[in-house]
Amino acid sequence: MNIMQDTLHHFSERIRAATQHATPLRLCGGGSKDFLGQTLQGEVLDTRAYAGILSYEPSELVITACAGTPLAEIEAALAEKGQCFPFEPPHFGPGATLGGMVAAGLSGPARASVGSVRDFVLGARLINGKGEHLTFGGQVMKNVAGYDVSRLLAGSWGQLGLLTEVSLKVLPVAPGEATLMCAGVSQAQALSLINRWGGQPLPLNASAWVHDTTAQPAQDYLFVRLRGAVAAVEAAVTRMSVEIESLGAVVTRMDNAQAARDWQASGEHTLDFFNSAPGSDHCLWRLSVAQTAPVLDLPYAQYIEWHGAQRWLWAPASDAQRLRDVAQQASGHATLFRTSSAHGDADKAVGVFTPLNTVQQRIQDELKKQFDPAGIFNRGRA
């Protein structure tokens, strides 16, 4: 038995023992996303012992790796071949792993244009609550055998089993790119522009709007990133600049290197907005709404991305119901993403995630039972 097989055997035996004794297990990679979700429970089962890239075929645009592999290692291997994960998964720390990326299901600035983590998962292997090592999907894009369980694992927060291996589709880095910084565009104007551009043949890749209070004087900014063929990007820059300037805004084309750092900071939550809670009792909330939703009737400053579909704001946990009501009216939901500095985990008493309706909850509960009959995996995480 080689080291890799021995590691998998150890995982299976540990899970069987936990099931037999009803001992909860906390599946963990680098722990960079431990802040999200309900309070962590159970004995830690560290996935990082099972790491490494198993296969990578640049010509086939597919990579397969062990779940404990550092995400940075995989992205570096892709970059060497001029390829990437186009959904720009956030790391939220140096220890992020491939398994954590899939289990969390979080995507970066380009998500609204290119799709989410789930859209790029081709296949996966996991160990269920019975200690069985199961395989779902495959390593090709047109795999239609059986249920699409591999994609179901994206965003499951490890509650269906221990991910061991994942195969993902990757894409070449776009040859053309440009970021426009537009000063003096109100939130309503920004949403109108983005919605209009979304219905046109433009290489629109990412967008962000914010009221920057650090500027002197404070100013509204719309940032738009274009990616695609060089000719298409250049034509769009000219066309969109004229349209923005007609509103009286000032358009600046950013240096690509600086823009790349800013977009990364957006995805990793290192921008000033994410590090500047207005009060010690304010939590960071994520409102996922329809892209076409108008300006929300809320008194809190917002950072808006995903072409209007994702809206971040700081508000006390006590305002949870109001936020969820507003999000529901905009065909969405609200998530308590980070707790306040004053109350910490006590804020989570209002619920981290918007409660499911009766039918959705029953489906989720039954699904968990099929994979994890004893309920040992990441108990209470979501």
Domain assignment present for residue 30? The answer is yes
For 232, the domain range is 176-272
Closest CA to 231 of 172, 171, 176, 173: 176
Q: Mean pLDDT in the chain?
A: 94
Q: Are residues 232 and 321 in the same domain?
A: no
In angstroms, rounded to a whole number, what is the distance separating the alpha carbons of residues 208 and 211?
10
Closest CA to 32 of 103, 84, 85: 103
332 in any annotated domain: yes
Mean pLDDT on 10-35: 95
Same domain, 114 and 182: no
Are the CB atoms for 154 and 183 separated by under 8 Å?
no
Q: What is the pLDDT of residue 58?
A: 96
Least confident span in 39-53, 113-127, 204-218, 297-311? 204-218
Residue 287 lies in a domain: yes
Asked if residue 155 and residue 90 are part of one domain, the reply reads yes
For residues 194 and 115, state if they share a domain.
no
Q: What pLDDT sits at residue 2?
A: 84
Q: Which of 300, 305, 303, 340 is nearest to 323 (CA)?
A: 300
The whole-number pLDDT of residue 145 equals 54
Give the Cα separation of 288 and 320 in Å (integer). Answer: 14
In the predicted model, is pLDDT for residue 226 greater than 90?
yes
Is the domain of 23 the same as that of 88?
Answer: yes
pLDDT (average), residues 116-132: 96
Domain assignment present for 246:
yes
**Which one of 256, 272, 288 terminates a domain?**
272
pLDDT at 142: 53
pLDDT at 216: 74
Rounded distance between C-alpha atoms, residue 252 and residue 22, angstroms: 59
Q: Are 150 and 182 members of one domain?
A: no
CA dist., res. 315 & res. 40, Å (int): 23
Whether residue 9 sits in one domain with residue 30? yes
Q: Quote the DSSP letter at residue 26.
A: E
Are residues 162 and 300 both part of a single domain? no
For 64-97, b/e burial (b = at least 16 CB within 10 A) is: bbbbbbbbeebbebbeebebbbbbbbbbbeebbb
Instruction: Tell whether 361 is covered by a domain.
Output: no
Clarify whether residues 282 and 262 are in a common domain: no
The reported pLDDT for the residue numbered 139 is: 65
Residues 287, 260 share a domain: no
pLDDT band at 40 (very low <50, low <70, confident <90, very high): confident
Do both 234 and 337 map to the same domain? Answer: no
CATH code for the domain in which residue 249 is found: 3.30.70.2190
pLDDT at 141: 53
CATH of the domain at 61: 3.30.465.10
On whether residue 37 sits in a domain, the answer given is yes
Res 222 pLDDT > 90? yes
Are 249 and 288 in a shared domain?
Answer: no
Mean pLDDT, residues 294-311: 97
Percent of all residues in the chain with a pLDDT value above 70, rounded to a whole number: 97
For residue 224, tell me if it sits in a domain.
Answer: yes
Q: Into how many domains does the chain fold?
A: 3
**Three-class SS state of 291:** coil
**What pLDDT, in 10s, does the model give residues 126-175?**
999 999 999 998 766 555 455 678 889 999 999 999 999 999 999 999 99
Boundary of a domain, candidates 172, 194, 211: 172
Distance CA 83, CA 168 (A): 12
pLDDT 10s digits, 316-334? 999 999 999 999 999 999 9
Q: Is residue 359 situated within a structural domain?
A: no
End-of-domain residue from the set 172, 191, 225: 172
Looking at residue 380, its pLDDT comes to: 81
